[in-house]
Amino acid sequence: MVTRIPMSRAGYDRLKGELERLERFDRFDVVKAIEEARAHGDLSENAEYHAAKDRQGMIEGRILELRDKVARAEVIACSQVECNRAIFGTVVTLMDMETDEEVTYQLLGPEEADVKSGSISVLSPLGQSLLGKCVGDEVLTKTPGGVREFEVVDINPSSID
């Protein structure tokens, strides 16, 4: 069974763009670098050659990884999801019950999660505990620093797909 990877249109487009760049440009640039390094002679002591081969391996590995993720992507239009519950794509505002600070996160897929930019994965501990919650619900989440308690203050649709 193929495990689908949920992601927004923007996240999908970003992965697709990286894949195209790697396949159309980076792959050929590294082949040229290998050819140039080979022309310098003895390969056993040729640091340029070994560095280019290492880079080629990293590029090919990333291409395989991206092809897999793009093939398994389940693109969800975040601006069209319902907002009566916290689900993929919604923007959830939480009140930390210990510090009384509000934090806002968009629930996205693991490929798009970036806490610094305000998005968390639906597969993260906090993301999983938020799924299905409504405004006013309390959420207990196990974190590396211990159990944290939040209250769902607001749920909104995303302004982007």
> Using one digit for the tens of pLDDT, what is the confidence trace for 2-41?
788 889 999 999 999 999 999 999 999 999 999 998 888 7
Element (H, E) at 5: strand 5-8
Domain 81-156, CATH: 3.10.50.30
**What CATH class does 5-76 carry?**
mainly alpha
pLDDT given for residue 79 in this prediction: 76
Please give the radius of gyration of the chain, using alpha carbons only, rounded to the nearest integer: 22
Residues of the chain with CATH 1.10.287.180: 5-76
Give the model's confidence band at 130: pLDDT under 50 very low, under 70 low, under 90 confident, else very high.
very high
Query: Which residues of the chain are in CATH 3.10.50.30 domains?
Result: 81-156
Q: Report how far apart the first and last C-alpha atoms of the chain are (Å, whole number).
A: 27
- For 36-86, the pLDDT digits (tens) are 988 887 777 788 999 999 999 999 999 999 999 999 999 988 777 777 899
Coil, strand, or helix at residue 142? Answer: strand
**Cβ-contact 15, 65 below 8 angstroms:** no
Q: Which residue has the higher pLDDT, 39 or 103?
A: 103
**pLDDT for res 40:** 81
